[in-house]
């Protein structure tokens, strides 16, 4: 069975500071990994994904995540956050044979001036 | 409009009543999903469907019924609503360039009194 752990429920950070949101997964087979973002009162939007190939994946708004197979992690990073990055971030995993995603419990990123 | 829509966006109902949440997608994606989102639990899968007339249980199916007579629609019915079913419900469909990306609707906030 697959599972996802997001170690931090809330991460407060000042604008222009770097941030890392942690995600660890457990699965005995190959996985597909995703980060989704949820702005207040909205649905989830795909931020970035790892399916295969380069272990470092990037989004269009400056976020990046690195797949680390040995540590079973897929941490999300941004070198300089903006107020508009304030949102809930969900890590999700799907094994190659499964039909569905398993989500972590989410990390609330709160960016302040 | 193209995409995935949910209706109603907000619903208040009484304990014991039947209520149906609607989900419609315009991409002709085969897979569709229903999740509930509760504080501290992240997103939990209720039911999913691989194609018209094919549905399967997720993590928390008790008290819910689904049907999928057409590819584009995937309604979720609470047969006899309970207070524990107060939640935000999200519908999603799966597709995209990789075929593994899930696209979410805006959600339905359901309150059972």
CA dihedral A95, A96, A100, A105 (to 10 degrees): 20
pLDDT interval class at A87 (50, 70, 90): very high
Q: Assign residue A51 the CATH number of its domain.
A: 2.60.40.10
Q: Do A103 and A91 form a contact (C-beta atoms < 8 A)?
A: yes
Partner A, chain B 60-99, Cβ-Cβ below 8 Å: 90, 92, 96, 98
Mean pLDDT for A4-23 is: 96
Domain of residue A25, residue span: 3-112
User: A99 and B31: CB-CB below 8 Å?
Assistant: yes
Express each pLDDT in B1-24 by its tens digit.
569 999 999 999 999 999 999 999
pLDDT interval class at A2 (50, 70, 90): confident
A91–chain B nearest CA distance, Å: 10
Q: Do B55 and B49 form a contact (C-beta atoms < 8 A)?
A: yes
User: A99 and B105: CB-CB below 8 Å?
Assistant: no
Chain A positions touching B99 (Cβ under 8 A) are: none
pLDDT beyond 80 at A30: no
pLDDT interval class at B84 (50, 70, 90): very high
Which structural domains are found in chain B, ordered by start?
4-112 (2.60.40.10)
pLDDT interval class at A98 (50, 70, 90): low
User: Cβ–Cβ contacts within 10 Å for residue A6, how many?
Assistant: 19
pLDDT beyond 70 at A97: no
B81–chain A nearest CA distance, Å: 23
Spatial distance between the Cα atoms of B49 and A29, rounded to a whole number of angstroms: 23
User: A105 and B102: CB-CB below 8 Å?
Assistant: no
Rounded to 5 degrees, what are φ and ψ at B58?
A: -105, -145
| Structural domain count, chain A | 1
Q: DSSP E strands: which ranges in chain B?
A: 4-7, 10-13, 19-25, 31-38, 42-51, 54-57, 64-66, 76-78, 87-95, 101-104, 108-112
């Amino acid at each position: 069975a697959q599972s996802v752990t997001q170690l931090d429920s809330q991460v407060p950070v000042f604008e222009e500071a770097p941030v890392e949101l942690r995600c660890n997964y457990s699965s005995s087979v190959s996985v597909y990994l995703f980060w989704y973002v949820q702005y207040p009162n909205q649905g989830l939007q795909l931020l970035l994904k790892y399916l295969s190939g380069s272990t470092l994946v990037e989004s269009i708004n400056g976020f990046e995540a690195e797949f680390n197979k040995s540590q079973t992690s897929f941490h999300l990073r941004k070198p300089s956050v903006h107020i508009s990055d304030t949102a809930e971030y969900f890590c999700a995993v799907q094994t190659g044979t499964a039909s569905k995603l398993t989500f972590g419990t989410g990390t609330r990123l709160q960016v302040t001036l | 409009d193209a995409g995935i829509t949910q209706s109603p966006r907000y619903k208040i109902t009484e304990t014991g009543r039947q209520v149906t949440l609607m989900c419609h997608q315009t991409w002709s994606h085969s897979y569709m999903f229903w999740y509930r989102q509760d504080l501290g639990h992240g997103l939990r899968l209720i039911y999913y469907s691989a194609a018209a007339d094919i549905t399967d249980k997720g993590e928390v199916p008790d008290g819910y019924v689904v049907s999928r007579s057409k590819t584009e629609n995937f309604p979720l019915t609470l047969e006899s609503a309970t207070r524990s079913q107060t939640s935000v419900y999200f519908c999603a469909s799966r597709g995209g360039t990789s075929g593994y990306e899930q696209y979410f609707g805006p959600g339905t906030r359901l309150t059972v009194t």
